[in-house]
Chains A and B, each alone.
Chain A
């Protein structure tokens, strides 16, 4: 075992250069002025953007819940299929991910637009046009569409490991299909639920492209706000770093709370 440690060296270097150092840099920027003096003004300024934080958390939460509700039955059906069919179905689930993220989101722009495909089709039946794009609903849709596979996969991989005979045992002991689900499948898939939530919630809360493309100007999220501080007109890397730091702390707190629901041996972070 000891000799194998050598192979972890490249990853260790990687971690230091691309994770630890940038993190320290973010912390440094967050607590200094542009002339390099210590300050907590950046952090206290983050408070002005509380509404954006609330909106981001809310939309990410809604997207996560929708993902969970959609992914759970899909993952369950997948895991109970015959083995050779599972592979094909997984491929179909993964297929959208083979396309570029931006392309996929652009596609939704043309679908949802005021003169887009959906409104056009509805128009044939004399309905609409409805305002679909540039709403928070469109942002949630974009998040769900892009992150759904990240919910399905961990759920599937946990459910697939549930022994078929445990399900038979439950039915043998008097469970109908609903109570098998509630008493056996859900508790046993809990690790998949928590890691699925993490995989969706974390990218959803910090996304900026989706909100920019589908949410118009009115649905600014934390991700957009941070991006503006570094690349946009509002150039202020110190504030950007402070917002990033606060966001990290919020995610850390949420994940810690999540871990309380996870079995002891399956802690996420």
Chain B
């Protein structure tokens, strides 16, 4: 697989010197579903706008199939965008919205009819051709926006939080549908979201961003299981993050106790972040446990219970299919490979 889009040392700076993107480098492979994931203001949408051409980076290069395209205006780039609020043309009906890009290219009427028909079928909007877009539901507008972009056969489709305005159920359906479309058309999708579950569900590759810096690039499984730092661990799923130190390889000390782990290569007594997923905390009888705590609250979450347990220096979040009574003293233990040790993130 070749790289279709490459960003090299991209910096975006505002006039007042504020850096939105701090030296971003990234390769997007052909036919890949890449998701930029991060909290609002992390620079993920800015990165997308640079690929689309709406924004020129202060420094750095944007490559498309190996060609530098920094100076190429958006209308000459072989990418199309699905906008956050859809940005449909309110003066045109569904058919004309989808046909817009083809009309600009002055394609023959017959081909426009054929290609728009194809798209309407794909997004399940047959029979809606003459509707004004303002009379469509959010989900339908979303489909029009996707069809309007895809009808141009772009090599890369950019999606800027396209499902943000939809309700949960519709969002889940659209996630599956988008993934299907991407695989059927064998296109490169670059997707922006702040929803970690969405990112994990849909992507081949997830790019986690924070404060204009790429934190981690990897497959959803890698990102979830092997977060590189406490930020990623915390942002992807819930986590217990406690301060600790490493007396020696494969031994970590936190909340005053020592546990076996599988990480090594840290300086002796280096302070670290210890990350343990809520579902990896095992509940055992208090008498035989190194670490104990009192159950503070229990919330039923459907598949599991979420418990907050007040340990010595840390309130532990535990996911378990069995609830413990509030006020009970319980013991907690962890398997060595469930304890993730991370270097402290350098601030700024």
* Chain B positions within 8 Å of A173 at CB level: 75, 80, 100-101, 104, 148-149, 152
B127 located at the interface, meaning its Cβ lies under 8 Å from any Cβ of chain A in the complex? no
Give the contacting residue for A184; candidates B73, B83, B89; CB below 8 A: B89
Please tell me if the beta carbons of B87 and A171 are within 8 angstroms of each other in the complex: no
Please tell me if the beta carbons of B74 and A171 are within 8 angstroms of each other in the complex: yes
How far apart are the CA atoms of A174 and B81 in the complex, in Å?
11
* Chain B positions within 8 Å of A190 at CB level: 91
Please tell me if the beta carbons of B52 and A172 are within 8 angstroms of each other in the complex: yes
* Chain B positions within 8 Å of A165 at CB level: 83-85, 87
A217 located at the interface, meaning its Cβ lies under 8 Å from any Cβ of chain B in the complex? no
How far apart are the CA atoms of A174 and B148 in the complex, in Å?
12
Per-residue contact bits, chain B 70-103, to A (CB 8 Å; 1 contact, 0 not):
0001110001110111011111000000001101
Please tell me if the beta carbons of A175 and B87 are within 8 angstroms of each other in the complex: no
Please tell me if the beta carbons of A172 and B80 are within 8 angstroms of each other in the complex: yes
Q: Size of chain A's interface in residues, with CB distance under 8 A? A: 19
Please tell me if the beta carbons of A174 and B83 are within 8 angstroms of each other in the complex: no
Interface size class of B (residues with CB under 8 A): 20 to 34
A170 located at the interface, meaning its Cβ lies under 8 Å from any Cβ of chain B in the complex? yes
Please tell me if the beta carbons of A188 and B101 are within 8 angstroms of each other in the complex: no
How far apart are the CA atoms of A166 and B86 in the complex, in Å?
9
Please tell me if the beta carbons of B152 and A168 are within 8 angstroms of each other in the complex: no
Per-residue contact bits, chain B 295-333, to A (CB 8 Å; 1 contact, 0 not):
000000000000000000000000000000000000000
B337 located at the interface, meaning its Cβ lies under 8 Å from any Cβ of chain A in the complex? no
| A166: nearest chain-B partner, CB-CB | B87
Give the contacting residue for A166; candidates B89, B103, B149, B152; CB below 8 A: B89
* Chain A positions within 8 Å of B81 at CB level: 168-169, 172
Please tell me if the beta carbons of B87 and A188 are within 8 angstroms of each other in the complex: no
Please tell me if the beta carbons of A163 and B87 are within 8 angstroms of each other in the complex: yes
Please tell me if the beta carbons of A172 and B91 are within 8 angstroms of each other in the complex: no
| B151: nearest chain-A partner, CB-CB | A173
Per-residue contact bits, chain A 143-179, to B (CB 8 Å; 1 contact, 0 not):
0000000000000000000010110111111111001
Per-residue contact bits, chain B 49-84, to A (CB 8 Å; 1 contact, 0 not):
000101000000000000000000111000111011
Please tell me if the beta carbons of B152 and A263 are within 8 angstroms of each other in the complex: no
B105 located at the interface, meaning its Cβ lies under 8 Å from any Cβ of chain A in the complex? yes
* Distance (whole angstroms) from the CB of B329 to the closest CB of chain A: 56
Please tell me if the beta carbons of B89 and A171 are within 8 angstroms of each other in the complex: no
Per-residue contact bits, chain B 143-167, to A (CB 8 Å; 1 contact, 0 not):
0000011001000000000000000
Residues from 224 to 269 in A contacting B, C-beta threshold 8 Å? 263
A183 located at the interface, meaning its Cβ lies under 8 Å from any Cβ of chain B in the complex? yes
* Chain A positions within 8 Å of B74 at CB level: 168, 171-172
* Chain B positions within 8 Å of A263 at CB level: 91
Please tell me if the beta carbons of B148 and A171 are within 8 angstroms of each other in the complex: no
* Distance (whole angstroms) from the CB of A173 to the closest CB of chain B: 4
Please tell me if the beta carbons of A175 and B75 are within 8 angstroms of each other in the complex: yes
* Distance (whole angstroms) from the CB of B47 to the closest CB of chain A: 16
* Chain A positions within 8 Å of B54 at CB level: 168, 171-172
* Chain B positions within 8 Å of A175 at CB level: 75, 104
Please tell me if the beta carbons of B104 and A188 are within 8 angstroms of each other in the complex: no
Please tell me if the beta carbons of B73 and A170 are within 8 angstroms of each other in the complex: no
Contact A188-B105, Cβ < 8 Å, known A163-B85, A169-B83, A173-B80: no
Contact A169-B75, Cβ < 8 Å, known A174-B105, A183-B104: no
| B52: nearest chain-A partner, CB-CB | A172
How far apart are the CA atoms of A166 and B148 in the complex, in Å?
13
Please tell me if the beta carbons of B87 and A174 are within 8 angstroms of each other in the complex: no
Residues from 147 to 196 in B contacting A, C-beta threshold 8 Å? 148-149, 152
Q: Which of A183, A188, A190 has the most CB of B within 10 A?
A: A183
A187 located at the interface, meaning its Cβ lies under 8 Å from any Cβ of chain B in the complex? yes
How far apart are the CA atoms of A163 and B79 in the complex, in Å?
21
Q: Which of B73, B81, B148, B152 has the most CB of A within 10 A?
A: B81
Please tell me if the beta carbons of B85 and A172 are within 8 angstroms of each other in the complex: no
Q: Which of A172, A188, A263 has the most CB of B within 10 A?
A: A172
* Chain B positions within 8 Å of A166 at CB level: 87-90
| A164: nearest chain-B partner, CB-CB | B87
How far apart are the CA atoms of A172 and B86 in the complex, in Å?
13
* Distance (whole angstroms) from the CB of A212 to the closest CB of chain B: 43
| A187: nearest chain-B partner, CB-CB | B91
Contact A169-B89, Cβ < 8 Å, known A175-B75, A175-B104: yes
Please tell me if the beta carbons of B83 and A188 are within 8 angstroms of each other in the complex: no
Residues from 185 to 210 in A contacting B, C-beta threshold 8 Å? 187-188, 190
| A163: nearest chain-B partner, CB-CB | B87
How far apart are the CA atoms of A110 and B148 in the complex, in Å?
58
How far apart are the CA atoms of A187 and B89 in the complex, in Å?
10
Please tell me if the beta carbons of B90 and A188 are within 8 angstroms of each other in the complex: yes
How far apart are the CA atoms of A171 and B75 in the complex, in Å?
5
Q: Which 9 A-B pairs have the closest CB atoms?
A: A173-B101, A165-B87, A169-B87, A174-B104, A187-B91, A171-B74, A172-B81, A174-B75, A166-B87
A172-B52, A173-B148 are known contacts; what are 15 more A-B pairs with Cβ within 8 Å? A165-B85, A166-B88, A166-B89, A166-B90, A168-B74, A171-B54, A171-B74, A172-B75, A172-B79, A173-B101, A175-B75, A176-B75, A184-B89, A188-B90, A188-B91
Task: Please list the residues of chain A having a beta carbon within 8 angstroms of any beta carbon in chain B.
Answer: 163, 165-166, 168-176, 179, 183-184, 187-188, 190, 263
Jot down 9 A-B pairs with beta carbons below 8 A, ordered by A: A163-B85, A166-B88, A166-B90, A168-B74, A172-B54, A173-B152, A174-B104, A175-B104, A176-B73
Task: Please list the residues of chain B having a beta carbon within 8 angstroms of any beta carbon in chain A.
Answer: 52, 54, 73-75, 79-81, 83-85, 87-91, 100-101, 103-105, 148-149, 152
